[in-house]
Structure formats: C-alpha cells, structure tokens
Amino acid sequence: MKIVYSILGTFNFGGMERVLSNKANYLTKLGYEIIILTTDQKGRKPYFELDSRIKNIDLNINYTDDLSLSLPQKLLSYVNKQRKHYKALEKQLVDIKADVVISMFDNDASFLYKINDGSKKVLEIHFSRFKRLQYGRKGILKWIDKYRSLQDVRIAQKYDRFVVLTEEDKQYWGDLNNIQVIPNANSFSSEKVALLENKKVLAIGRFDYQKGFDNLIHSWKIINNKFPDWILNIYGHGSLKSMYEHLIIQLGLEDTVVIHDSTKDIQQVYLEHSILAMTSRYEGLPMVLLEGQVFGLPLVSYVCKCGPKDIISDGYNGYLVEEGDILPMADKLMILMKDEELRKRMGINSKLNSNNYSEDVIMKKWIALFDHLISQ
C-alpha cells in the first residue's frame, strides 16, 4: 500500500514531526511505501531519523518566506502560493498514484480533497477544535481566526476520514459522520523509569504563546520561596526564548530556572527528572505528557483543550490545574516536591497508563483505517 503524508512546511523539530517520523518508520518496516511531501524544506535534512526507504519530496512553495510582510501583502502572497501549491501537489499525486493521502491540516487542507488522483483522502489534526481561537490575536486577525475556525468544520467533512486525537476534541466538532479518534502513540519505549529522587522539574516544548512557559516561570517564583533547592529545566526552541530569559532574570530565578536548547537525547533528560509540568494554552494530545508517562514521571498540567484530561486522572498519575492558574499550578507541584512517596506512587501509575498508548496498539488503529478505506 502506498501512503502519502502531505505535511506542514518543514520536517523539523517538533511533536508533530516526531509523531510522523515514528508512524512512517513503523509502516515502512511493514512493507508500506511512504512518501512525505513538504512545502518549505529548503534542502534541510529531517530532524528525526527516517528509514532510508521513505521518500521526502519538497514542493518549494515556501510559505514561511512571508513572515515579515505586512498583512495585505501576506494575504496576496498567500493566495498566489495556494494556487502554486495546488498545482504542484496535484502533479505529484497524479504521478505517485497513492492509495491514501493524509493532510496534517495545514496549508493544503482546503483543497487536497478536490484533487482527483484516485486516492482516499484523510485529514488529521494535531490540535484542538479551537486552536485558531486560542492564538490570542487581536483586531482583524481575531476575526480572521474566527472565520477560519468555522471553515475548519466545513473542510473536515469533505474528507473520507477525519482523525482527531482525543474523545474530548471529538465532541467539539459536532455530528460529523466521518470523524474518528486515534491518539498519538508513545514516541519511546523504555524499561527504565526515573528514580524520582532528583530535585528537578521538567518542561518541554516550543518557546511560543501556545506552550505558556511564562505562566510556569511565574509559578516557579512562588515555588522558589519555599523550595529553593529545586531546579526547573525547560527544554525547547522558538521565538520567545529571549523573553523567557529576561523574565527569569526579572524574577531573580537565574539559579533555579534553566533554559536549554532542544536535544536528541531527550530520553536521558526524562530519566533525570522527578516531575513533568505542562502549562499549554491549547494542545491536541500532548506528546510531552505521553513521553513523561513512559519514564514513570508524575504529571502536572493545565487542563487545556485538548488532551490532558484524556491522559491524566487527577490524583492518580498526576494533577490537573485550571488553565492559566499560576498559584494552583505552584501548589500542585509543591505537593509532589515535598512527598517522594507520593511521587513514586503516581509515577508507577503513569507507567501503567502509558501501555494504553503503545506504538503497536495505536498503529493497529491506523492500519485498520487504511484497510477499511481501501476496501470501500
């Protein structure tokens, strides 16, 4: 079976890219032919290792070149690049003759289903139904986000199957007859678990508005007054790195909050920590929570849309905190920081819960979906 993934601009570091690389590698080992189409790769190698049999074709659209343009210029350029994208994608798909083509709900989502290449079309979203409304943008951009959010539902129903990550998110899309829930799988398997004895809290993600590390740093100011010997390590990359560094200095936390660049040795990082914290404003199904479970970390997370409620049972394998609440986040972290026995009990439960997201369990769902579509 030949599967095409038409993905976001560049196959680089990020949760979606890690998920896709794992899926592609898994399917390739089973004999599937996998092609990954990008739009903004610009010759860069994929961050995550791919099986040598997987093809990566870049369409050279380069949406990201427009980031510095004014809003009217961006709109005009976007329209032109959408036309170019449609033609380039259509040509590739007609040549490839895939059985299934999957959009990752990016710039191709509005037109992929229109391309008549004989393949079944799947739309896969890695964020929540309300992702566009949670950007926090103002003015005309806010109204553009509202319009596009309404369009998302109309687009989703055009596909042979629309895949969301959580039962929670499925409810927000209304009565779509093509919707299906398939969670992300664990990125890793590990027999090792963290000892949960180091006085270290871990956070991982892009340095952007979505991940809300500003809230976590403010929470740590409260924590530091009572637990000055604990360290918060934040791993990632992104445009807000310097802002976070200035905030850390402003709050006098230079000795207890450390910003780290992304690392490929993230498994060892998990093993060296005792608690995982997540302060996202929105998610799809947070890979960082799934990964933390694999290594037996207790989890403390904002109960944002969507994902944390599907993964964390409050008081069992971690704690859920109302989104944006800085003091309760600090309180829940401190409960775990002062009680090693509680950390270890929740860590055991995290490890047990991770079995529900094993790669074999989740990929069987994808294979069943492919088989069903082809048989129609």
The DSSP annotation for 224-257 comes to HHH-TT-EEEEEE-STTHHHHHHHHHHTT-TTTE
Q: Which pLDDT belongs to residue 218? A: 98
> Tokens 């509005």 — which residue?
110
Domain that holds residue 340: 200-356
Say yes or no: 339 and 223 in one domain: yes
| Arithmetic mean of pLDDT, 94-100 | 97
Task: Please count the structural domains in the chain.
Answer: 2
Say yes or no: 139 and 213 in one domain: no
- Contact call for residues 187 and 201 (beta carbons, < 8 A): no
Tell me the two tokens of residue 230. 């604990």
Residue 336 in any domain: the answer is yes
- pLDDT, tens only, 147-171: 888 899 999 999 999 999 999 999 9
- pLDDT, tens only, 217-243: 999 999 999 999 999 999 999 999 999
| Arithmetic mean of pLDDT, 245-256 | 98
Say yes or no: 348 and 362 in one domain: no
> In 117-194, where do the E strands start and end?
120-124, 161-164, 179-181
Q: Which pLDDT belongs to residue 135? A: 65
Say yes or no: 120 and 25 in one domain: yes
Residue 137 in any domain: the answer is yes
CATH code where residue 337 lies: 3.40.50.2000
Residue 213 in any domain: the answer is yes
| Arithmetic mean of pLDDT, 255-274 | 96
pLDDT band at 295 (very low <50, low <70, confident <90, very high): very high
Reply yes or no on whether the pLDDT at 187 is more than 90.
no
Q: Which residues contact 184 (CB under 8 A, 6 or more apart)?
A: 19, 126, 165, 284, 285, 287, 290, 357, 362
Q: Name the percent of the chain lying above pLDDT 90.
A: 79
Which of 24-28, 95-99, 137-141 shows the lowest per-residue confidence on average (mean pLDDT)? 137-141
Say yes or no: 367 and 333 in one domain: no
| Arithmetic mean of pLDDT, 297-302 | 98
pLDDT band at 67 (very low <50, low <70, confident <90, very high): confident
pLDDT band at 331 (very low <50, low <70, confident <90, very high): very high
Q: Which pLDDT belongs to residue 9? A: 60
Measured CA to CA, the distance from residue 307 to residue 284 in angstroms comes to: 6
| Arithmetic mean of pLDDT, 67-81 | 89
pTM: predicted TM-score of the whole model, two decimal places: 0.83
pLDDT band at 126 (very low <50, low <70, confident <90, very high): confident
Q: Which pLDDT belongs to residue 12? A: 59
Say yes or no: 176 and 225 in one domain: no
pLDDT band at 248 (very low <50, low <70, confident <90, very high): very high
Say yes or no: 168 and 50 in one domain: yes
Say yes or no: 162 and 38 in one domain: yes
Residue 190 in any domain: the answer is no
pLDDT band at 44 (very low <50, low <70, confident <90, very high): confident
Residue 189 in any domain: the answer is no
Say yes or no: 114 and 251 in one domain: no
Say yes or no: 157 and 211 in one domain: no
Tell me the two tokens of residue 3. 């599967």
Q: Which pLDDT belongs to residue 148? A: 84
Which of 42-46, 134-138, 362-366 shows the lowest per-residue confidence on average (mean pLDDT)? 134-138
Residue 89 in any domain: the answer is yes
Say yes or no: 58 and 123 in one domain: yes
pLDDT band at 136 (very low <50, low <70, confident <90, very high): low
> In the chain, where do the E strands start and end?
2-6, 33-38, 55-58, 100-103, 120-124, 161-164, 179-181, 200-204, 231-236, 257-261, 275-278, 299-302, 318-321
Say yes or no: 31 and 165 in one domain: yes
Q: Name the percent of the chain lying above pLDDT 70.
A: 97
Residue 147 in any domain: the answer is yes
Residue 194 in any domain: the answer is no
Mean pLDDT of the chain: 93
| Arithmetic mean of pLDDT, 68-90 | 92
Reply yes or no on whether the pLDDT at 270 is more than 80.
yes
Q: Which pLDDT belongs to residue 134? A: 67
